[in-house]
Structure 1
């Protein structure tokens, strides 16, 4: 009897020790992720707490959190079984910010000045619905099937796609949303935001205000070998700096996103573990450092805030877009960009057109080539804040395809040779969602030779996407 009791006591002590050493330190991250997710999803996209908890937050360990929304003061608190309570506040224009106990919520703050340009043009250059268009070289029935397969069947929860949008020659040829989402739903792009952040350097270079080939302006690096790291190296994730990017443990990336007050400094203190331009390593810290470098280009914080919208997002009509800030007022350029599916597609179209937006050159044509050129030692999978298919990672997809890519399978895929942009937003990645197969099926909708038979409206097959315009597809 005594031996049995002693065994269970020892077992309990071991369990408690494991919880204290392995689990307890993670509670800050769990409740932090949960609070931030609920605050953003609820206040930016009007999702209910139940929807967020059953969708965005149904991640192992994150689903341990208990969340409470304060509608009056616009904040969310989360804890894990009563431990490690975290708070995220919402501020109009800045989105949701995860804060600590030292953060002064009464302190005045600046917000970006937005300019929403109205235009009597159809998508993508205006807000009007596009004219009914049929392309003779597209198999619409095959397109409809390819898009439908990207979504779960009723009762399933495997692929978890939230939206798919296919744009060909500036025309939406297919658009579908999961239940609870529509063309006005803002969806978090996660690391697709990196591609937006990188674009500002192309804009500044086009304006003659920055030289990306010069050393990064980081004072802490000037007395050691890091002084040789260029902005170009940072854009290519090829600085040689130490960084661990994982989301299933406490590491550099999760510490930055859910603990640090100033995310632009997270990468600065890291030592060199390789040589600049010879050691590719994916790093969200690097992109936030780039956000900090952008801030240095302006005399005031207000100018920095305004630039992100006036030079790009508002200029190309991404009026739904919000880039959220950290406690120090920096845009979290690595991860916290929100926009509707259509607005994410506009960003892809800007690159498809090599920086030209309805006649205005936002960045040099060569910038599109620059971001889509493989960086050294990446094996053809990465360019400058964009992922590439040059290395054939998607074997059944054209190698000139490049993409914005984010956690849980967010994607804006750009196909220069097809004049095509495909957006997929969701909650799963490979292997749960077969991106190679999905992109292959969509790209295969094009006839090798354009049919000469002109399709009249009355001759369209009933299964054509155009014929169900008011239900699931929008063309």
Structure 2
């Protein structure tokens, strides 16, 4: 046996026995789903994962500094970190803001799989004409899918977030312009009409109660905003990590889920069906027509998709790491944007746990 061969074997043996932390859980470990009732939730320690304990406190210090109220990391469904700040607790509800758009996207997919709607049909097929102030021919261009992808063509700046018909005015033909706007909430009206139920009742029976979430929709300034505990937000993140399945039950079919969490149009590559997408070659931001090169969160995993809301409400889902990260709280930097430098620095702190 040659010396070179022996040295190579020794090198491989040493390499395989390295203590370098692996950010990914064991492939043999099953995905865990907490019971639908009660406070029982399996945990996994930082030590169990081989992560760096000395990186925990800098992360918590940053979250405290940045006005956080709750923070959760799940790996394979198990809680690895769960912290509450500034008087918040596990039982305190908080608003999702625009992170709740992804709830509407999910329910839209459920309504389609039940045959109640088709996302390619025009909105006026369900709620009638005159729901905007657009000329009828322009209004009839707008489909449910245009609402899901923020490409309705409706004016996004001059009339603010008001979604009354008089404030929904023409800016461009549907499908030709990406612009972040609250007009997506008309999907809730579409589903209420198509199902013959209130939006809340349909949501509760088809999603909330099926995965053990708590919480309610509350009307604030012409917008329906979801409030829940951080653990309920984490349950939805876990459902999304598992591509719409809760244990062996399909809540949302995988075909629609994959459409929702991939680029949905060719204008803003970083946007799916009300989900933000990391790792794309370019992206747009709310209230801007500028195209920015590179990934939305450069320090974040490339396969990450995200629910992002005003004042830094966050659900990050990372399939490659079988991870879900939740952050609720006040604005990190006295800003109201769904995206800010907070995301990038936060992911630097999270990465330090296992890199």
TM-score of the two chains, using structure 2 as the length reference: 0.76
CA RMSD of aligned residues (A): 2.6
Q: Cα gap change, 1:206/1:143 in structure 2, threshold over 3 Å: closer, same or farther?
A: farther
Q: How does 1:180-329 map to 2 (within 5 A)?
A: 180-217=87-124, 218-220=128-130, 223-244=136-157, 251-253=159-161, 256=162, 265-266=163-164, 270-284=168-182, 286-301=183-198, 304-319=199-214, 321-325=215-219
CA distance in 1, matches of 2:149, 2:42: 40
- The structure with the larger Rg is 1
Q: Cα gap change, 1:131/1:166 in structure 2, threshold over 3 Å: closer, same or farther?
A: closer
CA distance in 2, matches of 1:289, 1:416: 30
CA distance in 2, matches of 1:127, 1:381: 37
SS at match of 1:173: strand
CA distance in 1, matches of 2:272, 2:240: 14
Q: Cα gap change, 1:122/1:366 in structure 2, threshold over 3 Å: closer, same or farther?
A: closer
CA contact (8 A) 2:33 2:246 kept: no
Deviation for aligned residue 1:444: 4.4
Deviation for aligned residue 1:413: 0.6
Q: Cα gap change, 1:228/1:132 in structure 2, threshold over 3 Å: closer, same or farther?
A: closer
Q: 1:434 aligns with which of 330, 342, 348?
A: 342
Deviation for aligned residue 1:366: 2.0
Q: Deviations over 1:48-80 (max 9, x none)?
A: xxxxxxxxxxxxxxxxxxxxxxxxxxxxxxxxx
Instruction: Please name the residue that 1:148 is paired with.
Output: 60
Instruction: Please name the residue that 2:234 is paired with.
Output: 345
Deviation for aligned residue 1:188: 0.9
Deviation for aligned residue 1:193: 1.7
Q: Cα gap change, 1:292/1:387 in structure 2, threshold over 3 Å: closer, same or farther?
A: same
Deviation for aligned residue 1:291: 1.6
Q: Deviations over 1:33-60 (max 9, x none)?
A: xxxxxxxxxxxxxxxxxxxxxxxxxxxx
Q: How many pairs were matched up?
A: 298
CA distance in 2, matches of 1:204, 1:341: 26
Instruction: Please name the residue that 2:247 is paired with.
Output: 358
SS at match of 2:63: coil
Return 5+ residue gaps in structure 2 as ranges. 1-31, 283-294
Q: Which has the higher contact order (CA 8 A, sep 6+)?
A: 2
Deviation for aligned residue 1:376: 2.9
CA distance in 1, matches of 2:264, 2:108: 17
Instruction: Please name the residue that 2:5 is paired with.
Output: none
Q: Cα gap change, 1:316/1:445 in structure 2, threshold over 3 Å: closer, same or farther?
A: same
Deviation for aligned residue 1:375: 3.5
Return 5+ residue gaps in structure 1 as ranges. 1-120, 153-157, 246-250, 257-264, 448-475
